[in-house]
Structure 1
Amino acid sequence: MECQDAAVSSLSWALIVGGSAYLVHQTRSHTQYGRYVAAEGLCCPARLGWFLQEVPALLLPLLLLLQPDEPQSSRDRTRRILPLCTFMLHYFHRSFIYSFLTRGRPVPLPIVLYSAIFCSLNGFLQGHHLLHCARFEDSRLTDARTAAGFLLFLVGMTINIHSDHILRGLRRPGETVYRIPYGGMFEFVSGANFFGEIVEWCGYAVAAWTLPAFAFAFFTACSIGPRAYQHHRDYQQRFEDYPRCRKALLPLIL
C-alpha cells in the first residue's frame, strides 16, 4: 500500500484522523441528521439534496478517467480502472437511483454543502491515486485478494440496496411515520443498510489495496457505524415489541 504522492498521503491520514475524531464526537453527542434533526431554516428536498451531495464523488473520478494518460499495459490499466469503477458504481447508484427513490425528510443546506465538499475531495483522492500513483504487483496472491475484495464489495452493495428497499417499503408516499423493518439483514441488525455500506467499502479497500481506499473504509465505519447504534436505541424506545435478538450493527456481536 505505497503512497508516493505527499498530498494524497496527507488527505488519506486526514480521513483517518477525521474519522477517529468524528467517532469520539458521536459517542458524546447525538449526530444531527435524518430523523434526529428538525427541518428548520434553509432546506433541500430530500431527492435533490441526496443528488447534489453524492454526484461529485461520481463526476470527479469520471473526469480523471477521461483525461489522456501515459501509455500503460492493458493489465496494469485494468487493475487501476476496475477498483475505481466499483467506487463509481456506488455513487452512480446513490446519485441517479437512490436519490430519486428516497422518501426522506428535507435535508438542511449546510449538511448538503459539507457532504458535497467531502464527496468532491474523496472522489478526487480515490481517482487520482488509483490512476496516477498506485503501484500493483503481479502475483497470484494479488489476483486472489482483488477478486475477494470485489466479491465482498458486491455482497455489501447488495445488502445496502436491499436494505434501502425494505426501508422505503415501510412508508407510503407522503408519510413520515416509523415502522419496524423486517427481512434481509434487518433480521439480525437494526442498521442493515449501514452494515451493507461498511462491508462494501471494506471490499473496495481490499480490492484496491491502497492507503486512500483503507482510509475511506475506516472513515465510513467511524461515521455511519454509530448511526446504526443510534437507530437501534431509537427503535427500542419507540417500539415495545422491537425484536430483542437484534444487534445494532454487527450480527450476533454488536
Structure 2
Amino acid sequence: MHWYTGNTTYDTILTIAFGFAAFVLIGGLFGQSPYGRFATAKLGFNLNPKLGWWLMEIPATVVFAVFYLTGPHRFEGASPVLAAIWVLHYANRGWFFPLSIRQVPGKTTSFNVSVLGMGMFVTCVHGYLNGAMFSNDYLHRYSSAWLTDPRFLGGLVVYLCGFALLVSSESIVRNLRDKANPGATEYRIPFGGGYRFVSSPTYLGELIAWSGFALLTWSLPGVVILLITAGNLVPRAFATHKWYRDKFPDYPADRKALIPFVI
C-alpha cells in the first residue's frame, strides 16, 4: 500500500487509523465513552482513574520516543521543534494530568477497562505515526524552512491557545475538590476561565489544540487525531451539558455546551 508516504508499513497503519477514526465518529452518535461521570461496569471492570489515565496515555510518550529517536532526521531541521511540541502536550496529558487527579479515596468506578484498551490503541498509533513522520520526514517537508512557513506559525498559535485553555480548565476542575479532603464533594459547578462560556472548555481546548497541531504539521496523522478527538469529545460535550443542567437546577442558563455564544 503506497498512497501517502511510499512506506508500506506507515501507509497501512495510517489507513487503519482513518478506519478507526470513522468508527469513533459513528460510535459517538450512539453513546459516550464509559469514563468519568459516564462510567459503567457493563463493559467489564473499572480502574482507579489515576492508573487508568496514566496507562492509557503512556504509549504516546513511549511509542513516540522509540520511533522518533530511531529516525534518520531526528536532530535535523524542524523535527526537534515538532518533537518538543509533542513532549509539551504529553508531559501534561500523560504525566501531570493523571498524577494530579484528586480522586475520592478508594474509588475505582470511573474508568472502564474498555476505555483503556481503545485509548492505548489510539495513543500507540498516534505515537508511531507522528514519531516516524517527524524523524523520517517522509514528505520532505520538515526542513528548517518549515519553521517560518505560515502553516506552521499559524498552527502553532492555534495550538498554544488551545493548550492554554485546556490546562487552565483542568486546573479549575481539579481545584473544585479539596486536596486535603478529596472525598468531600463528588461534583460541583465550575466557574471562571472558559467555564464562563461553555460547559466543556477542556474539550474545546483539546479540539483547538489538535486543530492547530494538524495545521502546524500539515499532515494526515494530525487530521486523524483531530477526527478521533472530535468523534469522542463533541457528543460528550453535549451529554455533559445536559448532565449539568439535569443535576444542578441553578446551572447558568447562558452557558453553552461547547462553542461560546453558539451551541
Superposition deviation, residue 149 in structure 1: 1.1
Q: Which residues of structure 2 form unaligned runs of 5+?
A: none
Ranked by relative contact order (alpha carbons within 8 Å, sequence separation 6 or more), the top structure is 1
2: CA distance between counterparts of 1:168 and 1:29? 25
Residue 149 of structure 1 aligns with which residue?
A: 155
Does 1:12 find its partner at 2:18? no
1:84 counterpart letter in structure 2: A
Superposition deviation, residue 193 in structure 1: 0.3
Equivalent of 2:236, from 211, 219, 227? 227
2: CA distance between counterparts of 1:6 and 1:220? 26
Superposition deviation, residue 134 in structure 1: 3.1
Superposition deviation, residue 142 in structure 1: 6.0
Relative to structure 1, is the Cα distance of residues 102 and 213 closer, same or farther in structure 2, using a 3 angstrom cutoff? Answer: same
2:63 counterpart letter in structure 1: L
Superposition deviation, residue 30 in structure 1: 4.1
1: CA distance between counterparts of 2:70 and 2:147? 31
Relative to structure 1, is the Cα distance of residues 7 and 244 closer, same or farther in structure 2, using a 3 angstrom cutoff? Answer: farther
1: CA distance between counterparts of 2:48 and 2:175? 19
Relative to structure 1, is the Cα distance of residues 63 and 17 closer, same or farther in structure 2, using a 3 angstrom cutoff? Answer: closer
1:62 counterpart letter in structure 2: A
Superposition deviation, residue 181 in structure 1: 1.0
TM-score norm. by structure 1 comes to 0.87
Using the aligned pairs only, state the percent identity.
28
Superposition deviation, residue 33 in structure 1: 2.1
Equivalent of 1:56, from 55, 59, 75? 59
Residue 181 of structure 1 aligns with which residue?
A: 190
CA contact (8 A) 2:146 2:152 kept: no
Where 2:189 maps in the other structure, the secondary structure is coil
1: CA distance between counterparts of 2:13 and 2:256? 33
CA contact (8 A) 1:57 1:88 kept: no
Paired positions, count:
250
Superposition deviation, residue 113 in structure 1: 2.9
CA contact (8 A) 1:3 1:211 kept: no
Deviation digits for residues 118-158 of structure 1 (CA, Å, limit 9, x no counterpart): 21121011111222123217768962221111111111111
Superposition deviation, residue 46 in structure 1: 1.4
Equivalent of 1:125, from 112, 126, 129? 129
Residue 135 of structure 1 aligns with which residue?
A: 140
TM-score norm. by structure 2 comes to 0.84
CA contact (8 A) 1:9 1:211 kept: no
Superposition deviation, residue 51 in structure 1: 1.2
Equivalent of 1:169, from 172, 175, 178? 175
Q: Which residues of structure 1 form unaligned runs of 5+?
A: none
CA contact (8 A) 1:153 1:200 kept: yes
When the two chains are superposed, the root-mean-square deviation of aligned CA atoms in Å is 2.5
1:158 counterpart letter in structure 2: A
1:28 counterpart letter in structure 2: F
CA contact (8 A) 1:60 1:120 kept: yes
Relative to structure 1, is the Cα distance of residues 30 and 218 closer, same or farther in structure 2, using a 3 angstrom cutoff? Answer: closer
Deviation digits for residues 201-225 of structure 1 (CA, Å, limit 9, x no counterpart): 1111111101111121122112212
2: CA distance between counterparts of 1:122 and 1:39? 27
CA contact (8 A) 1:152 1:203 kept: yes
Where 1:134 maps in the other structure, the secondary structure is coil
Deviation digits for residues 7-41 of structure 1 (CA, Å, limit 9, x no counterpart): 33343343334323322222223442211123586
Superposition deviation, residue 78 in structure 1: 3.0
2: CA distance between counterparts of 1:110 and 1:32? 8
Superposition deviation, residue 54 in structure 1: 0.6
2: CA distance between counterparts of 1:32 and 1:116? 15
